[in-house]
Chains A and B, each alone.
Chain A
Amino acid sequence: MYTQALDVHGREPVAAPAADAKAAAARFEARIDADEKIEPKDWMPDAYRQTLIRQISQHAHSEIVGMLPEGNWITRAPSLRRKAVLMAKVQDEGGHGMYLYSAAETLGISRAEMFEQLLSGAAKYSSIFNYPTLTWADVGAIGWLVDGAAIMNQIPICRCSYGPYARAMVRICKEESFHQRQGFEIMLTLAQGSEAQRAMAQDALNRWWWPSIMMFGPSDADSKHTAQSMRWKIKRFTNDELRQRFIDITVPQAQFLELTIPDPALRWDEATQHFVIGPIDWNEFHAVLKGNGPCNRERLEARREAYRAGAWVREAAAAHAARQAAREQAQARRQA
């Protein structure tokens, strides 16, 4: 999910220099075709490694940045139960980020390096988190739509060819279903509530629908690296396939809530048995992706500030550990 959109700036594959490398590459492709899992110590083409590092780290960044729009409402959640559930959800997102950073580290990049890429603006993360959460209903909309879209993408990745990434996704998928249900339940409560609550829910849907649709990335015709990622079984379905699946599942849910999807062109196509949506505004998508969305600055600034402000804490822990280790060594020598 958080990476479909971002798969547009890949690196060129490194030219294989020797016959050995060519044979290894052929064996690698055969393993992929046989649906074998690739593990950290296995030989892999450099392009495969780099694609995965980019995709997994971007996914991790998205989880981490994603803690912020919802975290914004923890202190203002309107009931204790909602507060606890929201805290648990945001905590899960942090945990998901950690599973993914963990998986990426098996490929030869360090957490510090990945974090540096995020904070410097060099790395991308899902643009959906650059939108503000303006009302409590936004928390519901994010759970229902954004997590819904994420689940759609994440389930196929559970079968991706790289072992650590696939395993991390299995853990994440198990934990994700409560996230979407939590969001939908909030929307349902609001939609069935007072006039003001209904209006709040409708307003949130109006603002989150199109960004959620765009989460699936550019249409297949405009997505350059889909073919290679699919051959290597990193990506299992195309952007358009996933987007259509999401639309078909979500529109009836909105109908159940008796909320209106903000798309006058939306209609059911009897012939194809699919919902058809109106035109997507890709200018908006590219603007937000480039860093000119409503909250891009704030999100990165918040993470940068937390990291900067926390430097003395991280150093203290390292210093303390070093001192403890020295003490233990000295003690061991004395006792020897």
Chain B
Amino acid sequence: MSSPAPDPSTADWPLFEVFIRSRSGLEHKHVGSVHAADARMAIEHARDVYTRRQEGVSIWVVRSADIVASDPGESEALFEPARDKVYRHPTFYAIPDEVKNL
């Protein structure tokens, strides 16, 4: 998938994964994702989207591109690299502009 310089008026803000600790004593749990321009905004968005009903005492946000996931360990791994990104999000793959037809 090619990534020409995105049109800033329609490009998404980067994607962040959100982890919430709902009560003291519990671990952070993955609850979903938010788009934000920066980490500070990501915390605010995560708070507004995922803790409206007091479901949080602590929020972690991590850029989705920074998450490294294990592969499912089956023969399907033949079709995908072993250390893959967590999503099949098209913009996670940075291909130089000069390369066509991707």
Direct contact of A and B (CB under 8 A): yes
Contact of A108 among B11, B37, B69, B89 (CB under 8 A): B89
Chain B stretch 36-56: residues in CB contact (< 8 A) with chain A: 37-38, 41, 48-49, 52-53
**CA–CA, A228 and B90, complex, Å:** 27
Tally the A-B contacts, defined by beta carbons under 8 Å.
94
Q: By DSSP majority rule, is chain A's interface helix, strand, loop, or mixed?
A: helix
B92: shortest Cβ distance to chain A, in Å? 10
Task: Specify which chain A residues have a CB less than 8 angstroms from the CB of B13 in the assembled complex.
Answer: 314, 317-318
B32 touches A103 (CB 8 A): yes
Interface centre among A43, A116, A168, by most chain B C-beta atoms within 10 angstroms, is A43
Of all chain B residues, which has the CB nearest A100?
Answer: B32
- The answer to whether residues A116 and B38 also contact, given A41-B71, A110-B89, A110-B90 and a CB cut-off of 8 A, is no
Chain A stretch 153-193: residues in CB contact (< 8 A) with chain B: 164, 167-168, 171, 175
B11 touches A98 (CB 8 A): no
Task: Specify which chain B residues have a CB less than 8 angstroms from the CB of A88 in the assembled complex.
Answer: 52
B90 touches A108 (CB 8 A): yes
**CA–CA, A105 and B52, complex, Å:** 22
B41 touches A99 (CB 8 A): no
Contact of A116 among B10, B49, B74, B88 (CB under 8 A): B10
A40 touches B90 (CB 8 A): no
Task: Specify which chain B residues have a CB less than 8 angstroms from the CB of A113 in the assembled complex.
Answer: 90
Q: Mark B84-100, 1 if CB is under 8 A from A, else 0.
A: 10111111000000000
- The answer to whether residues A112 and B11 also contact, given A103-B32, A175-B53, A317-B41 and a CB cut-off of 8 A, is yes
**CA–CA, A319 and B15, complex, Å:** 16
B35 touches A41 (CB 8 A): no
Is A320 in contact with chain B by the CB < 8 A criterion?
A: yes
**CA–CA, A42 and B74, complex, Å:** 9
**CA–CA, A41 and B89, complex, Å:** 11
- Chain B interfacial residues counted at CB < 8 A: 35
Contact of B76 among A24, A108, A164, A312 (CB under 8 A): A24
A315: shortest Cβ distance to chain B, in Å? 4
Is A20 in contact with chain B by the CB < 8 A criterion?
A: yes
**CA–CA, A116 and B10, complex, Å:** 8
Is B4 in contact with chain A by the CB < 8 A criterion?
A: no
Is A329 in contact with chain B by the CB < 8 A criterion?
A: no
Task: Specify which chain B residues have a CB less than 8 angstroms from the CB of A315 in the assembled complex.
Answer: 8-9
Is B78 in contact with chain A by the CB < 8 A criterion?
A: yes
Task: Specify which chain B residues have a CB less than 8 angstroms from the CB of A110 in the assembled complex.
Answer: 12, 89-91
A102 touches B89 (CB 8 A): no
B87 touches A108 (CB 8 A): yes
Interface centre among A105, A107, A113, by most chain B C-beta atoms within 10 angstroms, is A105
A321 touches B37 (CB 8 A): yes
Is A95 in contact with chain B by the CB < 8 A criterion?
A: yes
Is B25 in contact with chain A by the CB < 8 A criterion?
A: no
Contact of B34 among A23, A102, A168, A321 (CB under 8 A): A102
Is A324 in contact with chain B by the CB < 8 A criterion?
A: yes
Q: Mark B50-78, 1 if CB is under 8 A from A, else 0.
A: 00110000000000000001011011101
12 inter-chain pairs at a CB distance below 8 angstroms, sorted by A residue, are A20-B75, A24-B75, A27-B74, A99-B49, A105-B15, A109-B90, A110-B89, A116-B10, A175-B53, A311-B10, A318-B13, A318-B37
A interface residues (Cβ-Cβ under 8 A, vs B): 20, 23-24, 27, 40-43, 88, 91-92, 95, 98-99, 102-103, 105-113, 116, 164, 167-168, 171, 175, 311-312, 314-315, 317-321, 324-325
B interface residues (Cβ-Cβ under 8 A, vs A): 8-13, 15, 31-35, 37-38, 41, 48-49, 52-53, 69, 71-72, 74-76, 78-80, 84, 86-91
